[in-house]
Amino acid sequence: MFGGELPIPKAVRKPRRPPDKQDILCPGLTPGSYGHIGREPNTDYDVKWRQYRQRKKEFCASRDGQWNVQAQQDRIMFKYDSHAAKRQLQRQIKEKVQEKMEAYEKTVEKRREKLHELLAQEERQYVYEVVDMAQKGDVLKMEEMKRRSEFLKAQKEQDRLKIVHEKRLQQYRDRCVELRPALIKRHLIESKNTQLQQMRENEAKRQAERELDRMWHALMQKDIKAKMDREQQELLAVKDKNRDLVEVWNKQMRGRELHKKEVERIALEDKAEMEKLSEKLRREEIEALDEKARKRAKIAKELMEQIASQEEYARKRKEEEDSFNRAFTKLAELEYQKEKDKVQDLSSQAARETHMYRKHLQELEEERKKEEKELEALLEVHRKEIERKQTEAKCKLAEAKAALQRSCLEGRAQQIEDKRKAAEQQLKVKQAENELLQMVFEQNERLQAESDRLQAEAVRQYRDDLSKQIQYNSMLREKEQAELERQLEQGRQEEEYYQKIVADMINLDIPEGNCPHPFKRVFEQYDCRCPPRQSIIFIWFCFLCGCPVLVWLLLRLKSRHVTKIQPKQKCFGHPPMPILVPHPNLFALMTTKK
């Protein structure tokens, strides 16, 4: 490399330039001047380093040029390959799309025909259905209205009979003279029990209010006591805090006094130390000045001695120069001859190196030209290959355009044929529609004739129905007469049955039916006002809240008159209480006992 092996020269450090060295042992010709120390031979490192840098720069430039050429070739090849791959992909996609379009064109006509047939069939069915519904709609609507009216009449009659039965029972009970004393007695007992229940309820309310007042009083006392304890604790805490604060302040004051004393002591010590230090520095400065004066005197003495010795040496040298001039002249001539011969040898060596360097440069130039020729040949081959591929691509493109044009013309012809077929098919459809409309018109005429016939038939049927209705009304009057007689007999039987019920009610019990007494409705809507569970009064009142007034009376009777126990929820805040159902002969037993 670079015409042969070239060792890397030593790196030259660049320190601060020292002053010119003067050798006092090598005085010059002029008094007071001295000789300089010269550079050693073969120490021109700066020149060698610059030559090495120049050769390295040239080599890097040539190498970078080759790399750039190769990179340009790679870029061209990559662009061409990517372009070719893209064109191939586009061609494949276009072929697939063309195949799909051809397959779609083959099947779309069949689908259109099937769809048209389905739509025509659906439309015909819809027309038939509309005509059928128009014929049967009125009949179905009348039948549905008749069924609905009959159902509503039957339901209304059933509700009316039920209400009449209940009202009749209530009227008989209210107008019954035999039941009036028993009802008065029962209402009197219920009113007394109601008043007693109200008194107990008021007492329970007052008891609950007293319990609530006692509870709030206890809570208030407890709160006051807790507040007093809390205030006492707060006062103690404030007192302790103030005491701690005073102690902290005292400690801080003592600390500040101690700190102030310490600062004063340190300041005095620093002042004394500074005085000592300043005195020491002053003495050191005086000693340094004395030492400097002594050194200056010593140096002056040495210089004077050296000057005297130099003058003596110069005088002796002057005397010796005359004796050595001839010898120096002869030696100088000899040295000059040697240097001249040496310079001639160095010139021949430099010429040889220059010749070798030029030869190496010539070889490099020839090699570069050879590489350029090879590169041009490769580029020419590559250019021809690109032109060939471009020519092939143009041919393929022209063929593709021709094929596309042929396919377009074929598609256009096919479209024209399809349009012609579609026009023919549409014409057939319109003809079929016209036939269908003609058929519908004929059907409408037949329906109108049938409607007129049915209307005449309805008029005739109405006359027949009217005559039948007259006969039916006469038959109904006869049936109503028989029904009236039957109802009279049924009323007599019901009267006997109600008389029996009244007798049983007087002897056994007085049922209220579906209309209870207003007091009992109040009891059923009664809200419990029970006191707290912890008291015995709570149990008694909760028992009373869960039972009506009749239970309070039944508790005074013997247990043998109780038949069963049924739970009923009356108190929303407590468990359900049992309700005692009275014996059927309760009122008879109560009357007998009294």
Task: Grade residue 546 by pLDDT with cuts at 50, 70 and 90.
Answer: very low
Region of 28 please: left (phi>0), alpha (psi -120 to 50) or beta.
Answer: beta
The predicted-structure confidence for 61-72, as pLDDT tens digits, reads as follows 888 988 988 888
User: Alpha-carbon distance 484 to 490, whole Å?
Assistant: 10
Confirm whether 180 is domain-assigned: no
- What is the gyration radius of the CA atoms in the chain, in angstroms? 71
* pLDDT for 14 beyond 80: no
* pLDDT for 28 beyond 70: no
Report the pLDDT value the prediction gives residue 368, as an integer from 0 to 100: 77
Residue 570 or 159, more confident? 159
Structural domains of the chain, count: 1
Question: Residue 578: phi, psi to the nearest 5?
Answer: -70, 140
Task: Grade residue 557 by pLDDT with cuts at 50, 70 and 90.
Answer: very low
Mean pLDDT of 504-526: 53
Do residues 490 and 165 lie in contact, with contact meaning Cβ atoms separated by under 8 Å?
no
Report the pLDDT value the prediction gives residue 344, as an integer from 0 to 100: 63
Residues whose CB falls within 8 Å of the CB of residue 311, separated by 6 or more in sequence, listed in order: 31
Task: Grade residue 342 by pLDDT with cuts at 50, 70 and 90.
Answer: low
Helices 179-507/536-545 angle, 10° precision: 80
CB-based burial, 41-53: b 16+ in 10 Å, e otherwise: eeeeeeebeeeee
Q: How deeply is 523 buried, as exposed, middle or buried, from its count of CB atoms within 10 A (0-12, 13-18, 19+)?
A: buried
- Give the dihedral of Cα atoms 234, 236, 238, 243; nearest 10 deg: -170
Mean pLDDT of 352-369: 76
User: Alpha-carbon distance 250 to 257, whole Å?
Assistant: 11
- Give the dihedral of Cα atoms 513, 514, 517, 519; nearest 10 deg: 130
* pLDDT for 355 beyond 70: yes
Confirm whether 57 is domain-assigned: yes
* pLDDT for 454 beyond 50: yes
In eight-state DSSP terms, residue 158 is: H
Task: Grade residue 529 by pLDDT with cuts at 50, 70 and 90.
Answer: very low
The predicted-structure confidence for 225-265, as pLDDT tens digits, reads as follows 888 888 888 889 888 888 888 888 888 888 888 888 888 88
Residue 479 or 544, more confident? 479
Mean pLDDT of 404-412: 79
Residue-range definition of the domain harbouring residue 93: 1-13+40-174
User: Alpha-carbon distance 454 to 183, whole Å?
Assistant: 68
User: Alpha-carbon distance 552 to 437, whole Å?
Assistant: 89
Do residues 530 and 538 lie in contact, with contact meaning Cβ atoms separated by under 8 Å?
yes
Range in 387-396, 455-464, 544-553 the model is least confident about? 544-553
Task: Grade residue 27 by pLDDT with cuts at 50, 70 and 90.
Answer: low
* pLDDT for 199 beyond 80: yes
Count CB-CB contacts under 10 A for residue 355.
Answer: 10
Task: Grade residue 15 by pLDDT with cuts at 50, 70 and 90.
Answer: low
- The secondary structure of 476-517 as a DSSP string is HHHHHHHHHHHHHHHHHHHHHHHHHHHHHHHHT----TTS--
Average pLDDT, the chain: 74
Task: Grade residue 21 by pLDDT with cuts at 50, 70 and 90.
Answer: low
Give me the residue label for tokens 């340094």.
288
* pLDDT for 436 beyond 50: yes
- The secondary structure of 275-342 as a DSSP string is HHHHHHHHHHHHHHHHHHHHHHHHHHHHHHHHHHHHHHHHHHHHHHHHHHHHHHHHHHHHHHHHHHHH
CB-based burial, 531-566: b 16+ in 10 Å, e otherwise: beeeeebbeebbbbbbbbbbbbbbeebeeeeeeeee
Highest average pLDDT, of 70-74, 126-130, 182-186, comes from: 70-74
Report the pLDDT value the prediction gives residue 325, as an integer from 0 to 100: 67
Task: Grade residue 555 by pLDDT with cuts at 50, 70 and 90.
Answer: very low
The predicted-structure confidence for 90-110, as pLDDT tens digits, reads as follows 888 989 888 888 888 888 888
Mean pLDDT of 553-576: 39
435: closest CA among 129, 131, 118, 123? 123
User: Alpha-carbon distance 523 to 512, whole Å?
Assistant: 16
